[in-house]
Amino acid sequence: MLARTRSPFTFTSRCLPGCSYLTDVVWWSGTLAMIIGQIGNFLAYNVAPAVIVTPLGALGVLFGAVLASRVLGEQLNILGKLGCVLCCCGSVVLVMHAPKAAAVTSRLELEAGLSDPVFVAYGLLLVLLLLVLIAWIAPAHGSSNVMVYVAICSLLGSFTVPSSKGLGLVAPGVLGAEPGALPLFLGLLATLAVSVLLQFFFINKALERFSSNVFEAIYYVAFTSSATVASGLLFKEWTALTAAGAAAMLCGLTTVCVGVVLLRISQEASVTWRTTKKTE
């Protein structure tokens, strides 16, 4: 939503094409608010499993849609409002039935998870997909297909969330001068910094071209799914999940997806509480 904001409080300095938002005071205010929010996310990842924290981003979908309709003048009809409600309800179900604790609680366990062949293969696959998306697909189709930027930002979330939680596990070892803790800490910090900066860049590019309601809703589902899979592979947060819990989480995810579809439809359909009879 930041890149789409246009404010009268804009500096007159020249900038490169596509970077006009860099001179907007409102944009910088929103950026500061987002940084504060990310700090809160970082703290939350270190006190609760990522599969619980990440779905709570549905609240951002709700607030983003409401603010977009108020601040940016975007239309949010009945279908859009219902979609926001379903996104939030589905997220609540996910939180209620998500694993309550992680199996990885120390630096040594984290190192074992990072060297696991399944996680290594998954990470290499993500890097390959990101290179293809950024180098070839985004320049050709990014301006016409919202899913390109959604895919890039969501796949980057597979690095952002685990590295955020990993930093919290490694930090005590760094403070205690444990051998091997500092290199791992710096590696996780570099991964977090690169992934966040790339996400920030592509999110702004997406919001310059597409409706914030549509992008934020789709991005929420894709980011949540990607981050949950990566965190589950690394931190083994699914080991205590029962069959009933898995079924409930599947229902919650389905509810969220239906909400996203309604949000997309609401951008094209003109639906209100009032109906008019068709005149013959």
Residue 4 is predicted with a pLDDT of 46
Judge whether residue 236 has pLDDT over 60.
Answer: yes
pLDDT in tens, 79-93: 877 887 887 788 778
CA 91 – CA 224 distance, rounded (Å): 10
Residue 256 is predicted with a pLDDT of 78
Q: Residue 228: which of 52, 91, 92, 90 has the closest Cα?
A: 52
pLDDT in tens, 37-83: 777 777 777 777 777 777 776 666 677 777 777 777 777 778 877 88
Judge whether residue 188 has pLDDT over 50.
Answer: yes
CA 242 – CA 72 distance, rounded (Å): 44
Residue 252 is predicted with a pLDDT of 83
pLDDT in tens, 97-131: 877 666 677 788 888 889 999 999 999 999 999 99
Residue 20 is predicted with a pLDDT of 60
Average pLDDT over residues 1-12: 44
Band of residue 272 on the pLDDT scale cut at 50, 70, 90: low
**Residue pair 149/138 in contact by the 8 Å Cβ criterion:** yes
Average pLDDT over residues 124-143: 93
pLDDT in tens, 191-208: 999 998 999 899 989 988
Residue with tokens 């990014």: 142
Residue 18 is predicted with a pLDDT of 53
Judge whether residue 270 has pLDDT over 70.
Answer: no
Residue with tokens 């270190």: 46
Judge whether residue 276 has pLDDT over 50.
Answer: no
Domain boundaries, the chain: 20-266
